[in-house]
Amino acid sequence: MSNIIIVDGMEVDLKVGSDPEIFVANKSGKLVSAHGMVAGTKDSPTPVACGGIQVDGMALEFNINPASSKAEFISNTQVVMKELTKALPSGHTLKILSTAQFGKKYIDLQPESAKELGCSPDFNAYTNGEQNPKPNGELPFRTAAGHVHVGWTEGSSTQDKEHQFYCQQVVQVMDLLLGVPSVLMDNDQQRRSMYGQAGSYRAKAYGVEYRVLSNFWLKNQALMSWVYEQTELAVKKVLGGFSVQDTQEIQRVINSSDLKGAKALIRRFDIQLPEKTSYVN
């Protein structure tokens, strides 16, 4: 299956994937470290139907097979989340939270591999790919992301200047279409203070990994649908020659979790929101 997008004579076969992180609670509802809870690591995820699962520090992570349609993206996400739930110890449940307040004493008791943060750097699409600072692992909480992977090519060098340019353009447009509205849907300012700020990305041989969103969009099908639709729209806009002009305001709104500023940008650019929502009055 493919999703061929043609804009102004340019043709790409779009694929959308993700690798969200998610926390775990025990029988009493208390958040607990997921270290060692399921098989699979970042270097070697455990294959499951429609993707893979693994431990990521004190959280769990899953990845989905690249999807060529909105229906496939939603299905892959739901199937892998069910597989991850089945892999949990009895009585434990998944918790979709942007930030988990574990407390420093509890974190200090974890093995070093569980405490490690930001093992691989990410980069800033607004500073020509400059490396972002490593998150502070000494803080008493942990955060969970909802990274979106966007594929439009194959075998590109991540160091190629043209490829980097398109990665940065896609990320900037995704900030406008996804990052700005996410301020209204995920009011967790603590996470944004240290992780997932505007423009965060990693170039990939197939396209780009957009690293701004938290895992809030895992909560329901309408949000999953919206993430796919806005990602597809971002690629179409970049192919059509659209580029973000208000970069400073977009960065400020996302990084400071400015609700009023987010609503203003949403109205100004007529940004689509998920179905059955009333975020902008």
Which of 171, 215, 174, 175 shows the shortest CA–CA distance to 191? Answer: 215
pLDDT in tens, 113-161: 888 775 688 999 999 999 998 887 788 999 999 999 999 999 999 999 9
The predicted pLDDT at position 15 comes to 96
Look over the chain and give the mean of its residue pLDDT values, rounded to a whole number: 92
Find which of 38-47, 57-66, 111-120, 190-199 is predicted with most confidence, using mean pLDDT: 57-66
How many other β-carbons are positioned within 10 Å of the β-carbon of residue 267? 10
Q: Bigger pLDDT: 9 or 68?
A: 68
Q: Distance (Å, rounded) from C-alpha 126 to C-alpha 88?
A: 39
Q: Indicate the residue type of 149.
A: H
Q: Kind and range of the H or E element at 113? A: helix 112-115
Residue with tokens 């500073």: 127
Task: Check whether 224 has a pLDDT greater than 90.
Answer: yes
User: What are the φ and ψ backbone dihedral angles of 157, each rounded to 5 degrees?
Assistant: -75, 130
pLDDT in tens, 239-264: 999 999 989 999 999 999 999 999 99
Task: Check whether 33 has a pLDDT greater than 70.
Answer: yes
* Average pLDDT value for residue range 204-231: 97
Q: Kind and range of the H or E element at 86? A: helix 70-87
How many other β-carbons are positioned within 10 Å of the β-carbon of residue 245? 10
Task: Check whether 278 has a pLDDT greater than 60.
Answer: no
* Average pLDDT value for residue range 191-213: 94
How many other β-carbons are positioned within 10 Å of the β-carbon of residue 178? 25
How many other β-carbons are positioned within 10 Å of the β-carbon of residue 258? 17
pTM score, whole prediction: 0.94
How many other β-carbons are positioned within 10 Å of the β-carbon of residue 135? 14
